A and B are shown apart, each in its own frame.
Chain A
Amino acid sequence: MTSNIIETTNLTKTYGDFTAVDSISFSVKKGEIFGFLGPNGAGKTTTIKILTTLLMPTKGSAHINNHDIKKKRDSVRQSIGVVFQEPALDIELTGRENLDYHARMYGIERSIRKERIDEVLALVDLTDKKDVFVKKYSGGMKRRLEIARGLMHSPKVLFLDEPTLGLDAQTRRAIWEYVKKMNKDKHTTIFLTTHYMDEADFLCDRIAIIDHGKILVTDTTSNLKTTVGNDIITVSTSEDIKFKSYLNDVAWIKQIDSHENHLTLGVEKGDEKIPALIELAQQKSIQVKSISVHKPNLDDAFLHYTGRSMRDEISNNNTQQNFHHGR
Chain B
Amino acid sequence: MIQNEMQAIYVMWLRQMKRFIRFKSRLIAMLVQPLLFLFIFGSGFGGVRFPGLEDISFIHFFAPGIITMAILFSSMFTGISVLWDKQFGFLQEVLVAPISRFSIVIGRTLGGATIALIQGFIILIISVLLGTPISSVSGLILAIIFMILIAISAVGFGLILASKMNDFQSFPLIMNLVIMPLLFLSSAFFPVVENPTLKTIAFLDPLFYMVDGLRGSLVGAANINPPLYNLVIVFCICIVMIALGSYSFNRSEI
Contacts and interface: CB of A to CB of B under 8 A. Distances in A.
A53 B96 contact: yes
A226 B10 CA distance: 54
A90 B87 CA distance: 11
B7 interface: yes
A49 B99 CA distance: 17
Contacts of A243: none
B137 interface: no
A92 B26 CA distance: 13
A122 interface: no
Interface in B80-117: 85, 88-100
A107 B96 contact: no
A308 interface: no
User: Which of A55, A74, A101, A104 has the most chain B CB atoms closer than 10 A to its own CB?
Assistant: A101
B26 to A, nearest CB: 11
B143 to A, nearest CB: 33
A105 B11 CA distance: 7
B3 A107 contact: yes
A170 B23 CA distance: 35
Given A49-B254, A92-B22, A54 B99 contact: no
A132 interface: no
Nearest to A52: B96
Contacts of A106: 4, 97-98
Interface residues of A, number: 29
A77 interface: yes
A84 B90 contact: no
A41 interface: no
A54 B91 CA distance: 10
Given A88-B93, A89-B89, 4 more contacts: A52-B96, A54-B96, A54-B254, A87-B89
17 contacts: A49-B254, A54-B92, A55-B253, A74-B100, A78-B98, A82-B92, A82-B93, A88-B88, A88-B90, A89-B90, A91-B88, A93-B15, A93-B18, A105-B8, A105-B94, A106-B97, A149-B93
Interface of A: 49, 52-56, 74-75, 77-78, 80, 82, 84, 86-93, 97, 101-102, 104-107, 149
Interface of B: 3-4, 7-8, 10-11, 14-15, 18-19, 22-23, 85, 88-100, 253-254
Leading 9 A-B pairs by shortest Cβ distance: A88-B89, A77-B98, A88-B93, A105-B97, A107-B4, A78-B98, A104-B7, A86-B89, A88-B92
